[in-house]
Structures are given as C-alpha cells and as structure tokens.
Amino acid sequence: MTIYGWCSPGRVCMAALASTVAAAALSVPPAQAQAINYDRGQNQGVLERAAENYGPDGMPLGGFRLFPTLDLQEYYDDNIYAYSSNRQDDAISVIQPELRLASNWKQNQLALYGQDSLLRYVNHTTENSNEWTLGGSGQLDVQPDWSLQGRVEHQSDVEPRTDPSTPVSAARPTIYDLQLESVEFIKTFNRLRLNLTAEDQTYSYGRVPLNGGFVLDESYRNNSHLIYGATAQFAVSPELAVYSMVKYNVFNFAHFYPNVGVNYLPQTSGGFTPTPTFVNLPRDLNQNSDGYTADVGANFDLTHLARGSLGVGYLAQNAHDPRLPDYSGPHGQAQVDYFLTPLLTLHFTTTRSVSASGLTASPAFLATDVRGAADYELLSYLIFQVTAGGGWDNYKGIGRNDTRQDYTASGTYYVGRHLSLVIRYSRLSLSSRGSGAGPSYSDDRAGLSLIYAR
C-alpha cells in the first residue's frame, strides 16, 4: 500500500503480493510442500528453555491453534515528557490483550494476529492513548527446496515522548499509522541458499496540538520506505555458513515542506516556547533519498558455546536534493549468543543504519547501536535479565549529535505454564550536542506485569 492507496509504475504492490502468498498457502497440494529449515538449533539459551517449559500451548481450533494473551502492567515514570528540567512524573496502567491464530499444518503456514494496548495515566490524562496492531503472515512451501513467505500488517502507534522527532511542545501524544508489507523468496541449491526480499513501510502522520493553542501539521513526515534485498549463503559445514548481502532502499516523501504551512514551536530544554516561529526552509525542499548497504560475513552455531552472525561492509544514502546531506561510511552488524553455562546466556548485538527523521532540515540520520544482555536462570521458574545499550545518532545538516544510553533489569517468575509475574526497572538517557542540539534528558521507569498466556 502506498500513501495514496495505489501502485505507481515500475513498483511491486507489496500488499497484493503478500496477501496472495498467505491465501495460496491454503491451496498448495501437500505432496509439493516441505518447510525449509535453515535455523541454527544446536544450542538452547535460558529464554528458549523457559519458552519451551512455560510458553503458551494454545487452544485447538480445527487445523489451527488460538493463542490468547493478556498483559496487565502498572509502572511509575519519573519524566513522562522527557524534559531536561521541570520533570513531571506519573503512574501508568497498561491493558494489553492479544490474539494469535496459527495453523498447525505439516506443510505451509498461516497466522493471523491482533493486539491492543491501552495506556492510562493517573494525573496527566491528556497522555492517555490506545495503540493497536492487526496483521497476517504466511509461508507457501512450493517445493521441498524453495518457499515463499509474506506478511501484511497495520499499526496505529503513539510516538514516545523520548523520541527526538516528537515536539517537546506537543500538548498530546503524536499518533501515526504504519502499514507494512513484505515478501521473501527462499531457494536452496544443495549448500547454497538464496534469499530475495522486498518490504514496504508506509508512515502517515497528522496534526499535533501544541501548548499555547497552536497546531503542527506533520504531514511532511509522511513517507514510504522501500527495501529490496538479496542474500547468498554458502554452507561450509553444518555449523558454519558464509554470506554476501546487499540491500537497496528508497525513501519517498509525500509532500515538500511548503505543503505543511506550519507555525512551529521549537524544542527547548525546559519545555515549550509560547511564541510560534516560522520554519525557515526552502519552499521546494525535496526530502527523498535512496541508498544501499553491502555486507560480507558468516553465521554460525559452533559446538555448545556460541551462535550468531557477524558481517562488515559499507553503506551510503544519497539525498535527491543537493541542499540536503548524504551519508556514507563503514557498515557492520553482529548478533552473537554465548552459552557460558546451561544457566547463563550472554548476548551481544550491534547495528548501523540510516533512518527517517522528523526533524526539519534533516530528514534522515545515521544511527549506530551497541547492546549487551545476560539471562540467568536461578530456578527453572525464576529468570533474571540485565540489558545495557548505547547509541550514537548523527544528524547532518543541522549540526546535531545525540548519544543514547539505556539499562534494563528484570525478573520473571513463572507461576505456572500460563501465568507469569515480571518486575522491571529501566533507565534511558540522551545527551544532545551541537549547534542544532535538542533537549538532553534522563527517564527512569519501574513497574510490574502480570501476564496470562494460554
């Protein structure tokens, strides 16, 4: 689906193709189908074992199983607006029901799912929100050595106050819609496996009321992000494969800046400025861009110690308007699970990518993330997790560099197979520097969740 609901010339309509894959999964003769299993399953981590022992088993429903879930949360947030000063705290209740219907066929797969999330604040009721997701996915096993997968999903989301794209002066949460369609072709030639992917992410924004009675029209942020990828993997052994990957992406924005016609309240460290100022940008500024990433690397499942993937390469993102900045440089990704003991699993991930930005004069930014985590099984029904991460966001064109740090500690007690209690603490901090720096802040949250999963 595009912003306007139709497919432009030369462009694959992802929604139609993904829907066709899901529907076709119902009609392929069983004799022609066989799931392709290329997963790394030699080792089992703490969370994987917990999911096996205490994960939901679903309710039988013909050739499907129904998985209902209800997550009830209560937590305290000491800086709900992510201000540098004049911090406001509150207690928040979350009710999050979810339904997932999944096939249990021997060949082909089909799943439908939906989730709703209601947030209610005790004192700051204007922050109350409702987010929801509806989607479906399918796998068509055409032959024993190749398959076709597809997914269609629609989300109505709320942009977190901690997101740099959210105006600090917003009187209410920023609501946006995300439409996602993806297809993947998987073919195995003995030791060689080929993956071809196509994905379309369409973001739609509306008007955001601001403090002081003003309104910010964020339609200039409406965009479609197209991503095409090809990966070739060669199995050196059952435990090791080398790969080459290339991805090409296009950001298509629906409007130029003059279509916004906006009076904008600038972000300030202490909250909001009551006097509006006009965004002084060229009236024909084009935010569109295209780029690529290319990596070589390996994925592995070695002995009983480690599983994951490592890759290095190069990325580039070129703005279509010469007045906007380009991005280029080394690219890399890592995702490693280290099984130190049967009771302790360590994780390490790092990524680097170009993402869309809601900041004027810098429609994209380069994000680098590094993260480590540990899962510890004290008892088979009592799991502790610790996560620490950091990131660096570079906004060219406005002289802004952000540094992010986040920490999370949690404990999960499995009362039984269908009921668990989670206690969690998290801290997020952001430091913004440069001539176009935004607010710097820290945000601490602590709470608990009661989860029923059938």
pLDDT of 11 > 70? The answer is no
User: Residue 18: is it exposed, middle or buried by C-beta count within 10 angstroms (0-12/13-18/19+)?
Assistant: buried
- For the record, the structure tokens of 330 come out as 């080394």
pLDDT of 451 > 90? The answer is yes
Range in 132-141, 241-250, 267-276, 370-379 the model is least confident about: 267-276
pLDDT mean across residues, the chain: 86
Which residues contact residue 134 at a Cβ distance below 8 angstroms, ignoring those fewer than 6 apart? 113, 114, 153, 154
What is the predicted pLDDT for the residue at 399? 87
Is the torsion defined by CA of 40, 44, 47, 53 positive or negative? positive
- For the record, the structure tokens of 111 come out as 């799943």
CA–CA separation, 352 and 333 (whole Å): 7
pLDDT of 432 > 80? The answer is yes
Q: What is the mean pLDDT of the segment spanning 337-354?
A: 95
Range in 20-24, 127-131, 300-304 the model is least confident about: 20-24
Q: What is the mean pLDDT of the segment spanning 376-399?
A: 94
Alpha helix stretches (DSSP H) within 344-409:
none
Which residues contact residue 128 at a Cβ distance below 8 angstroms, ignoring those fewer than 6 apart? 119, 120, 121
Determine the 3-state secondary structure of 49 from DSSP: helix
List the end-to-end C-alpha distance of the chain, in Å, as a whole number: 33
pLDDT of 207 > 80? The answer is yes
Domain boundary assignment for the chain: 14-453
Between 230 and 256, name the one with better pLDDT: 230
Determine the 3-state secondary structure of 19 from DSSP: helix
The structure's pTM equals: 0.84
Q: Tokens 């990704």 map to which residue?
A: 333
Which residues contact residue 62 at a Cβ distance below 8 angstroms, ignoring those fewer than 6 apart? none
Nearest residue to 16 via CA among 158, 188, 150:
150
Q: What is the mean pLDDT of the segment spanning 33-60?
A: 75
CA–CA separation, 30 and 141 (whole Å): 9
Q: How far is CA 154 from the centre of its chain?
A: 13
Q: What is the mean pLDDT of the segment spanning 10-28?
A: 39
Residue 20: pLDDT band with limits 50, 70, 90: very low
Q: Side chain identity at 35, as an amino acid letter?
A: A
Range in 76-80, 133-137, 308-312, 353-357 the model is least confident about: 353-357
Between 18 and 358, name the one with better pLDDT: 358
Nearest residue to 355 via CA among 289, 297, 416:
289
DSSP single-letter state for residue 62: T
CA–CA separation, 265 and 278 (whole Å): 8
What is the predicted pLDDT for the residue at 257? 58
What tens digit of pLDDT does each residue of 157-177 get?
Answer: 999 999 988 888 899 999 999
CA–CA separation, 353 and 367 (whole Å): 5
Range in 37-46, 265-274, 342-351 the model is least confident about: 265-274
What is the predicted pLDDT for the residue at 364? 85
Q: What is the mean pLDDT of the segment spanning 328-338?
A: 94
CA–CA separation, 389 and 219 (whole Å): 32
What tens digit of pLDDT does each residue of 282-323 get?
Answer: 667 788 999 999 999 999 988 788 999 999 999 999 999 888
Q: Are 102 and 114 in contact (CB under 8 A)?
A: no
What is the predicted pLDDT for the residue at 165? 87
Q: How far is CA 77 from CA 81, 82, 266, 422, 444, in A?
A: 10, 10, 25, 17, 6
Q: What is the mean pLDDT of the segment spanning 321-333?
A: 91
Class of domain 14-453 (CATH, top level): mainly beta
CA–CA separation, 162 and 170 (whole Å): 12
CA–CA separation, 40 and 302 (whole Å): 10
Q: What is the mean pLDDT of the segment spanning 237-261?
A: 81
What is the predicted pLDDT for the residue at 250? 96
- For the record, the structure tokens of 337 come out as 């699970």
CA–CA separation, 209 and 174 (whole Å): 9
Backbone phi and psi for residue 104, each to the nearest 5 degrees, phi listed first = -120, 40
Q: Side chain identity at 200, as an amino acid letter?
A: D
What is the predicted pLDDT for the residue at 24? 40
What is the predicted pLDDT for the residue at 213? 84
Q: Tokens 């500690």 map to which residue?
A: 409
What tens digit of pLDDT does each residue of 252-287 get?
Answer: 988 765 444 444 444 443 444 433 344 455 667 788
Between 256 and 49, name the one with better pLDDT: 49
Q: What is the mean pLDDT of the segment spanning 214-243?
A: 92
What is the predicted pLDDT for the residue at 358? 79
CA–CA separation, 342 and 345 (whole Å): 8
pLDDT of 188 > 80? The answer is yes
Nearest residue to 265 via CA among 347, 170, 139, 364:
170
In this structure, the number of other CB atoms found within 10 A of the CB of residue 102 comes to 17
pLDDT of 190 > 60? The answer is yes
What is the predicted pLDDT for the residue at 42? 72
CA–CA separation, 258 and 156 (whole Å): 26
pLDDT of 3 > 50? The answer is no
CA–CA separation, 16 and 14 (whole Å): 6
CA–CA separation, 251 and 268 (whole Å): 29
